[in-house]
Structure 1
Amino acid sequence: MARRPKYPCRHRGCSALVDGPGYCSEHAAEAVGWHRVHQRGNRHQRGYGTEWDKIRARILRRDGYLCQCEDCRAEGRPLRATEVDHRIPKSRGGTDDDGNLRAINRDCHRRKTQRESRAARQG
């Protein structure tokens, strides 16, 4: 049986060959959405361990499992909340205090995070 040919790594200038189309192990982090645990840290290292699980449950109960984002409140029909959001992101000095946390719908949370990321990239 014939062997399948190897593919070149997608990283520009890399001469490594891989079994399927993609990146070699050295450049695997360039694949969209893929992060090495030692670069990003696991959830406990990032501050989202057991204590965060307790805080999250308390905030969801406090807000009645309803989304508290600006869009849902303006429309007067909040969606079901499954996540907890930092009003001021931890990356900008936000804390895990109850006043900085709110229940939020998954889709609303993604939109808010995208807006924040876009603003951070634009400077």
Structure 2
Amino acid sequence: MPRSAPTPCRHPACALVLDKPGYCDQHRTQVHRDYGRARRGFDAEVGFYQSVRWREVRAAFLREHPLCVACKATGLVVAAKVADHIRPLKDGGERFDWVNLQGLCVSCHNRKTARETARRS
């Protein structure tokens, strides 16, 4: 099996030569750290979803509403894992009001979020 040619680290100022394309050990951790920082800053609501109050509200809501409402509407019985905001926070939805919450399974929540994101674009 042929071996690939040595390539330099992808970091702009690094001259270290690697067996495989990518970053050297020192710059790999830096790039991953920077990516994580950029990702956390991408969505202003990330901090809200990590708050103690939200976690308590979410847990209480899911105890009271344990089934996915979207699956239940189609006759399936699937456990809800996500307390979803019916009207998204980005569209002015209430954060802690149970009237604005619904229990969804992960796949239904991802589908709903994708539709909302596409509509916003």
Structure-2-length-normalised TM-score: 0.67
> 1:42 & 1:92 partners in 2: Cα distance?
12
> 2:45 & 2:90 partners in 1: Cα distance?
16
Q: Tell me what 2:79 maps to.
A: 80
Cα distance, 1:6 vs. partner? Answer: 1.2
Amino acid aligned to 1:53? R
Deviations 1:1-35 (A, max 9, x none): xxx431557xxxxxx2666437995xx65xxx984
Residues 48 and 54, structure 2, Cα contact 8 Å, conserved in 1: no
> 2:77 & 2:13 partners in 1: Cα distance?
51
Cα distance, 1:109 vs. partner? Answer: 0.4
Residues 68 and 78, structure 1, Cα contact 8 Å, conserved in 2: no
Q: Tell me what 2:57 maps to.
A: 55
> Whose helix proportion is higher, 1 or 2?
2
Cα distance, 1:47 vs. partner? Answer: 4.7
SS in 2 for 1:46: helix
Structure-1-length-normalised TM-score: 0.66
> 1:61 & 1:90 partners in 2: Cα distance?
22
| Unaligned residue ranges in structure 1 (runs of 5+) | 10-15
Q: Tell me what 1:111 maps to.
A: 111
Report whether the alignment pairs 1:91 with 2:93: no
Sequence identity, in percent? 27
- Which structure 1 residue ranges, 4+ long, deviate > 2 Å from structure 2? 16-25, 33-43, 45-48
Query: Which residue of 23, 37, 49 corresponds with 2:40?
Result: 37
Report whether the alignment pairs 1:66 with 2:67: yes
Deviations 1:63-115 (A, max 9, x none): 1x10013xx23312231111110000000000120100011101110000001
RMSD, aligned CA: 3.1
